[in-house]
Amino acid sequence: MSSIKYRHLSRDSAHRRALLRNLVTSLIANESISTTYAKAKEAQRLAEKLITLGKKNTNAARQRAKSIFFEPEQPQHMGKLFETLRLRYEHRPGGYTRVLRQEPIRDDQAESAILSLVDGPRDMRFSMTAKALVRQRKDNLPMHEMTAVNVRKVTRFRDGGEEALEEEVKRLEEQMEAQELEEKEDFEADGTTYEWVRGEKDRRTSAKGKEKNGPGRLRRQRAGEDEETRFG
């Protein structure tokens, strides 16, 4: 008995191919799509082949790519594939896309995923790595081993990768500072003082106190109000 080489997706051959062409066209246009995990894995295979054609940049490759695009008459798709993406992945040997599982988004609770292009403006691993660096630097923590691995992955083939990552970290830090300042001003306008706490023990839940989870939170305290007053 031969093994199944691809997912049928509960469709006949023609409908399955039309579905995948539509998904891949949306991926090239938007750089990220959300769908079921099974569809994402099958669309990923076709997207990898399509980008390989873009890197070849021959007449035969262009004709083959045009037959894959769901809207071949739209010139922006061909232009992005054979110009923007060809240059972006010029030195990358493969792995142009990434599938990330996510919480089910359909009513039938089908396994869902996000399919995205790597090294682009919507690269989720790049964004998540930048956010991890911001948190670790804020708390003066050494770089986590997993974060270091992700830093290498998201900067290795990206043009000016290390500089781009630092720019994103700086942008997120400035965004966080602006948000904290805005919240502080709101608290003070209400006659409260402002304090950022991390892992605070909540004396309201138990006598010994329970360590709070999460990166931290804002604690509000009215001017002149002591701790005993706040916790009763």
Higher local confidence (pLDDT), 190 or 20: 20
Q: What's the alpha-carbon Rg for the chain, to the nearest Å? A: 24
What is the C-alpha to C-alpha distance for residues 117 and 97, in angstroms, rounded to an integer?
Answer: 4
Buried residues in 192-223 as b, exposed as e (16+ CB within 10 A): bebeeeeeeeeeeeeeeeeeeeeeeeeeeeee
**In the numeric block, which tokens belong to residue 227?**
């701790």
Element (H, E) at 104: none
Domain membership of residue 25 (yes or no) is yes
Element (H, E) at 135: helix 124-138
The pLDDT assigned to 1 comes to: 38
> Cα dist. 58→55, 64, 65, 122, 155 in Å?
9, 10, 10, 28, 29
Q: What is the pLDDT of residues 85-134, one digit of tens each?
A: 999 999 999 999 999 888 876 666 678 899 999 998 888 889 999 999 99
Identify whether residues 129 and 174 lie together within a single domain: yes
Q: Number of structural domains, the chain?
A: 2
**In the numeric block, which tokens belong to residue 11?**
């469709």
Last-in-domain residue among 120, 149, 176: 120
> Taking a C-beta distance cutoff of 8 angstroms, is the pair 115, 99 a contact?
yes
User: Tell me, what amino acid is at 207?
Assistant: A
Domain membership of residue 182 (yes or no) is yes
* pLDDT for 187 beyond 80: no
Domain membership of residue 4 (yes or no) is no
Identify whether residues 43 and 112 lie together within a single domain: yes
Last-in-domain residue among 99, 120, 141: 120
Q: 2 falls in which pLDDT band (50, 70, 90)?
A: very low
Identify whether residues 144 and 113 lie together within a single domain: no
* Residues sharing a CB contact under 8 Å with residue 42, sequence separation 6 or more, in sequence order: 6, 7, 9, 20
Q: 159 falls in which pLDDT band (50, 70, 90)?
A: confident
Q: Judging by beta carbons within 10 Å of its beta carbon (0-12, 13-18, 19+), is residue 159 exposed, middle or buried?
A: exposed
Domain membership of residue 3 (yes or no) is no
Question: Residue 174 belongs to what domain range?
Answer: 123-201+213-222
Domain membership of residue 24 (yes or no) is yes
Q: 217 falls in which pLDDT band (50, 70, 90)?
A: low
Q: Is the pTM of this model over 0.75?
A: no
